[in-house]
A and B are shown apart, each in its own frame.
Chain A
Amino acid sequence: MDGTWERLKVLFPVISSSLAESEVTKENIDSIYLELVSLGVLEEVSQLICIEIDKTLQTQVVPEFWKIFDTNLDAQSDNQARERCEFQLFRTTVLQLYKKFQIINRMLERLKYLYEKSGTKFIYNFDEIFKSVLLSQLPNNFTKLVYSFYHISFNVFINTKAEEDDDDDDMDQLRERDDCDGCEMPTARCQCQELVTAFGEINLCLTRMGLLDRISGYTLTNLIQDEIYGHIQKTCRGIFDTQHLKNLEKWLDTIVLEWLTRIFNNGSAKLDPSNLKIRESISYFQKKLKYLLYEKYAKTIIDQFFNIIIEFPDSQPAIDDLKLCMEKLDLRAHLVEVLKNSLETRLLHQGVETSDIITGYVATIKTMRHLEKSGILLQTVTEPVKEYLRKCRQDTVRCVVTSLIEETPSDLSEELARSEAIKAEENERNQDEMNNWQDWTPDPVDALDSDKNSAQNRRSDIISMIVDIYGSKELFVNEYRNLLADRLLTQLDFNPEKEIRNLELLKLRFGENLLHSCEVMLKDISDSKRINSHILECSTFTSEETPNDPAVSALIVSSQFWPMFKKESMELPEEINKLFERYKKSYEEYKGNRTLCWTPLNGKVNIEIEINDKKLDMTVNPAQATIIMHFQNQKEWQLDQLSTVINMPPSTLRRRIGFWQLQGLIREAKENTFILCDENHDQAGEIETETNVVLDEEETMVSANDQREEELQVFWSYILGMLTNLDSMSLERIHQMLKMFASQGPGFEFSQEELKSFLQRKVREHKLVYSYGVYQLNKN
């Protein structure tokens, strides 16, 4: 009996809890068979062996296998070194497991032989038992080693692939690195070949044990997902002017799928057409990965959508790609969320000028149009922008109107110029719609409920979208009318042809009715020219003419059609008054039953000033002209005194004298006393200079500062005037305007920064309010 047991242990070492390999011949098996049969214990012993196999699996093989996965290598400083260790660990542990798997299998073959010899059927499904025991002890995070294993082999693989494809010499030169791109080892000790061999070996072992799917499948999916993401980031991020989708698909179909095929197909990339099972799982992977690719790529594009908007139309290819992805996946909600968010963070805050927000809004419209014809996403995405402009930016309308009619081409002015074409298109489309009403398709469900009737609206052009911010054409037209009046009354380089053209284009957009008064305004301008030349030639006017009379002309306006004129009055210089009276008389004669009411403050005056041996030729407004003319005969004025003569409130007058102070022609000698800066006359100026000379170094500095402050103070009265008239202005605009006026007089240099600190001080003094990039008067 003892001898039998010993012999049995050689055949089935598992009964003594061992998995040692043993040399066994067919004779050995046959003889033990006879022994067991004669002892009548064949069945009992066979059962015992099965139980022992189970036990060994449970308590030895499987725990030992999984124990390796608990190894923590995170302390490794070098990520690549860690990955390499993990690769090797995984490899060794799988190989060991496979060895044991084979040994047990051989024992089972012997057992099966014994069974069948006795004529009993052997029913022991080891493969299933092995798998279930192994998986029942699956640790929580076993994937780390697996990930490293496949990660390293993927890198090696794509590198080999790249080298295969690489017939370009330049690229080889670029690659002259110390480390191999595949295994990251020094080139001299490149391990790629060994790694490839090990990779094939392990996959084969796993396949044979039936574990490939369970152990590697999940991790493979994750890894490939990461690789896809990494590849997209590396090749596509920030490059919007080319389409990438085709190349990405090609990369997936060739590199990634070939790699996968090798894993599942015992290391070979050539699939046997008859091997349906592998073909099936590969094509399943392919489908799944393609969706993954679309999704990752589309999300990468969406994440950068704001930049795509900024770079439009150069970024069209990126949008074309996104369009293709969106045909396959529904990413609308995601796009809306991300884009809304980035518009809010990039555009809708205090630091952004209104005109820049509008530019961004227009760019968004253009970009989204390219993505989606129906304009539904556009509506949803831009809703917050519109709301913000409506609620927080009062200068929106002005900005829009200004850029519509601006001389320098802008998106909007170009758009306006396209009006005729758009109108024609619209008519054609309406016609088409009437003819093709059967082809009508409903809007996608995410269309805003509030826009039920806006299908037309959505399709229409950018200008309509802009007007849509306010939902009122009237508001825009009103603002345009104010700007036009402003230009007609003050602008020196008024170009009637251009204004008429603008008006015609605006009429196409906003309708004749709303723009009728603007038409009258322009007609007034041309009528005035005719009336003017008639009056200047009629005898009533010419009979009283003297050689020194200035050339006079009038802009005769139809009060009912213009914006309200300011009620402000002013006493014109005597000679001008006379001239105007004569002009009026001639007009009454010419028109019969009609007369003129002059608005003394409007208009423009061309004067020549001779002072200090200099000649200044200037174009100024009537108030400025009137003031300086009064200094001709009287060099020194009290503010009150002049205020009475000119019939102008002192505060207003002081502001206007500021203009001449800016020119260096008048100065305030002492409070409320203004003196002409005439060299022959002005002794006070000399005295002032002398006092400055005696000051010591430090005080000169202060004095220089004081003077600077004084100069800026001169600006202040001017800034006040501008803000009273224009309501709100940006720093740049104020700077520009001041520079324009300053350049007419003696040079006055100041930086925008200097002006900014000055204005900010006025804000602190509560004289100005600063919000959303513009300054306004503090009206409280």
Chain B
Amino acid sequence: MKVTVKSWTGVALWKWIANDDNCGICRMAFEACCPDCSFAGDDCPLVWGHCSHVFHMHCICKWLNSQLNQQLCPMCRQTWRFNDR
């Protein structure tokens, strides 16, 4: 007997490579989107801070905009700086 695979369609879940599962601001899974979005992934990306904390980009931007003077990470209170990985 000879078996030839002509085509194989697999199913995969996509995942963010991050050291956490949920966004610390909106509490949603990273693979879900922030409350303002309808679609996750490309439409609602993650961003990393130098402090190594990760958030939905929309969530951290909203957070930073609401801060008056200092731009602090909501998790560790260090000055927030984007990490362009």
Contacts A558-B31, A591-B14 given; indicate if A632 touches B9 (C-beta within 8 A).
Answer: no
Contact with A631, one of B1, B8, B40 (Cβ below 8 angstroms): B1
A5 proximity list for chain B (CB < 8 A): none
B40 proximity list for chain A (CB < 8 A): 520, 558, 560-561
- Separation of A347 and B21 alpha carbons in the complex (Å): 51
User: Cβ of B12 and Cβ of A596 under 8 Å apart?
Assistant: yes
Q: List 5 A-B contacts (CB under 8 A).
A: A550-B7, A554-B11, A596-B15, A603-B8, A603-B11
Q: What is A's interface to B at a CB cutoff of 8 Å?
A: 489, 516, 519-520, 523, 550-561, 565, 575-576, 579-580, 583-584, 587-588, 591-600, 602-611, 617, 622, 625, 628-629, 631-632, 635, 665, 676, 678
Contact with A629, one of B3, B9, B14, B18 (Cβ below 8 angstroms): B3
Does any Cβ of A come within 8 Å of B17's Cβ? yes
Does any Cβ of A come within 8 Å of B69's Cβ? no
Contacts A520-B39, A593-B16 given; indicate if A605 touches B32 (C-beta within 8 A).
Answer: no
Contacts A557-B11, A557-B13, A676-B1 given; indicate if A551 touches B32 (C-beta within 8 A).
Answer: no
Q: How far is the CB of A686 from chain B (nearest CB, A)?
A: 17
User: A551's closest neighbor in chain B, by CB?
Assistant: B7
User: Cβ of A560 and Cβ of B31 under 8 Å apart?
Assistant: yes
Q: How far is the CB of B43 from chain A (nearest CB, A)?
A: 10
- Separation of A512 and B29 alpha carbons in the complex (Å): 21
User: Cβ of A560 and Cβ of B11 under 8 Å apart?
Assistant: no
B17 proximity list for chain A (CB < 8 A): 588, 593-595
Contacts A611-B1, A678-B1 given; indicate if A550 touches B6 (C-beta within 8 A).
Answer: yes
Contacts A576-B5, A628-B3 given; indicate if A602 touches B10 (C-beta within 8 A).
Answer: yes
User: B41's closest neighbor in chain A, by CB?
Assistant: A558
User: Cβ of A600 and Cβ of B10 under 8 Å apart?
Assistant: yes
User: A611's closest neighbor in chain B, by CB?
Assistant: B1
A576 proximity list for chain B (CB < 8 A): 5, 8
- Separation of A665 and B6 alpha carbons in the complex (Å): 19
B5 proximity list for chain A (CB < 8 A): 550, 575-576, 605-607, 625, 629
Q: How far is the CB of B13 from chain A (nearest CB, A)?
A: 4
Contact with A604, one of B3, B4, B9, B15 (Cβ below 8 angstroms): B9
User: Cβ of A596 and Cβ of B14 under 8 Å apart?
Assistant: yes
Does any Cβ of A come within 8 Å of B77's Cβ? no
Q: How far is the CB of A94 from chain B (nearest CB, A)?
A: 93
- Separation of A563 and B15 alpha carbons in the complex (Å): 16
Which parts of B21-39 form the interface with A (CB within 8 Å)? 29, 31-32, 38-39
Count of residues in B whose CB is under 8 Å from the partner chain: 27
- Separation of A302 and B59 alpha carbons in the complex (Å): 64
User: Cβ of B1 and Cβ of A489 under 8 Å apart?
Assistant: no
- Separation of A576 and B10 alpha carbons in the complex (Å): 10
User: Cβ of B13 and Cβ of A609 under 8 Å apart?
Assistant: no
User: Cβ of B10 and Cβ of A552 under 8 Å apart?
Assistant: yes
Q: How far is the CB of A729 from chain B (nearest CB, A)?
A: 24
User: Cβ of A606 and Cβ of B7 under 8 Å apart?
Assistant: yes
User: Cβ of B8 and Cβ of A598 under 8 Å apart?
Assistant: no
A635 proximity list for chain B (CB < 8 A): 1
Contacts A560-B32, A631-B1 given; indicate if A603 touches B9 (C-beta within 8 A).
Answer: yes
Contact with A552, one of B1, B2, B8 (Cβ below 8 angstroms): B8
User: Cβ of A559 and Cβ of B31 under 8 Å apart?
Assistant: yes
Contacts A594-B17, A676-B1 given; indicate if A554 touches B9 (C-beta within 8 A).
Answer: yes
Instruction: List 12 extra interface pairs beyond A516-B38, A595-B17, CB under 8 A.
Output: A489-B11, A550-B6, A557-B14, A576-B5, A598-B12, A599-B10, A600-B10, A605-B8, A606-B6, A607-B3, A610-B2, A611-B1
- Separation of A607 and B13 alpha carbons in the complex (Å): 24
Contacts A523-B39, A593-B16, A594-B15 given; indicate if A622 touches B1 (C-beta within 8 A).
Answer: no
Contacts A520-B39, A580-B10, A593-B46 given; indicate if A609 touches B16 (C-beta within 8 A).
Answer: no
A580 proximity list for chain B (CB < 8 A): 10, 12
User: Cβ of A558 and Cβ of B10 under 8 Å apart?
Assistant: no
Q: How far is the CB of B55 from chain A (nearest CB, A)?
A: 13
- Separation of A596 and B16 alpha carbons in the complex (Å): 9
User: Cβ of B11 and Cβ of A552 under 8 Å apart?
Assistant: no
B29 proximity list for chain A (CB < 8 A): 560
Most buried by A among B14, B32, B46: B14
Q: How far is the CB of A627 from chain B (nearest CB, A)?
A: 10
- Separation of A719 and B16 alpha carbons in the complex (Å): 39
- Separation of A523 and B14 alpha carbons in the complex (Å): 14
Q: How far is the CB of A745 from chain B (nearest CB, A)?
A: 14
Q: How far is the CB of A91 from chain B (nearest CB, A)?
A: 92
A605 proximity list for chain B (CB < 8 A): 5, 7-9
Q: How far is the CB of A650 from chain B (nearest CB, A)?
A: 22
- Separation of A554 and B12 alpha carbons in the complex (Å): 7
- Separation of A628 and B2 alpha carbons in the complex (Å): 10
User: B13's closest neighbor in chain A, by CB?
Assistant: A559
User: Cβ of A609 and Cβ of B1 under 8 Å apart?
Assistant: yes
User: Cβ of A603 and Cβ of B10 under 8 Å apart?
Assistant: yes
Q: How far is the CB of A48 from chain B (nearest CB, A)?
A: 115
Which parts of B57-79 form the interface with A (CB within 8 Å)? none
- Separation of A607 and B3 alpha carbons in the complex (Å): 7
Contacts A558-B31, A628-B3, A629-B3 given; indicate if A550 touches B15 (C-beta within 8 A).
Answer: no
B18 proximity list for chain A (CB < 8 A): 593
B39 proximity list for chain A (CB < 8 A): 520, 523, 558
- Separation of A579 and B12 alpha carbons in the complex (Å): 13
User: A629's closest neighbor in chain B, by CB?
Assistant: B3
User: Cβ of A555 and Cβ of B11 under 8 Å apart?
Assistant: yes
A591 proximity list for chain B (CB < 8 A): 14
Contacts A523-B39, A593-B46, A593-B85 given; indicate if A558 touches B14 (C-beta within 8 A).
Answer: yes
User: A584's closest neighbor in chain B, by CB?
Assistant: B12
B12 proximity list for chain A (CB < 8 A): 554-557, 580, 584, 596-599
Instruction: For the complex of A and B, list the 3 residue pairs with the smallest distance between their C-beta atoms, beginning with the closest.
Output: A602-B11, A550-B5, A596-B12
- Separation of A83 and B11 alpha carbons in the complex (Å): 86
Contacts A550-B8, A594-B15 given; indicate if A609 touches B46 (C-beta within 8 A).
Answer: no
- Separation of A600 and B9 alpha carbons in the complex (Å): 10
Contacts A520-B39, A608-B3 given; indicate if A553 touches B9 (C-beta within 8 A).
Answer: yes
Q: How far is the CB of A610 from chain B (nearest CB, A)?
A: 4
Q: How far is the CB of A725 from chain B (nearest CB, A)?
A: 15
- Separation of A258 and B40 alpha carbons in the complex (Å): 84
- Separation of A588 and B16 alpha carbons in the complex (Å): 10
- Separation of A561 and B13 alpha carbons in the complex (Å): 11
User: Cβ of A594 and Cβ of B9 under 8 Å apart?
Assistant: no
User: B30's closest neighbor in chain A, by CB?
Assistant: A560
- Separation of A576 and B8 alpha carbons in the complex (Å): 8
A628 proximity list for chain B (CB < 8 A): 3
- Separation of A579 and B69 alpha carbons in the complex (Å): 51
User: A580's closest neighbor in chain B, by CB?
Assistant: B10
- Separation of A442 and B26 alpha carbons in the complex (Å): 48
B15 proximity list for chain A (CB < 8 A): 559, 594-597
User: A598's closest neighbor in chain B, by CB?
Assistant: B12
Q: How far is the CB of B1 from chain A (nearest CB, A)?
A: 4
Contact with B8, one of A516, A551, A597 (Cβ below 8 angstroms): A551
- Separation of A10 and B80 alpha carbons in the complex (Å): 143
B8 proximity list for chain A (CB < 8 A): 550-553, 576, 579, 603, 605-606, 622, 625
Q: How far is the CB of A526 from chain B (nearest CB, A)?
A: 12
A523 proximity list for chain B (CB < 8 A): 39
- Separation of A595 and B39 alpha carbons in the complex (Å): 17
- Separation of A635 and B41 alpha carbons in the complex (Å): 46
User: Cβ of B1 and Cβ of A596 under 8 Å apart?
Assistant: no
A603 proximity list for chain B (CB < 8 A): 8-11
Q: How far is the CB of A528 from chain B (nearest CB, A)?
A: 9
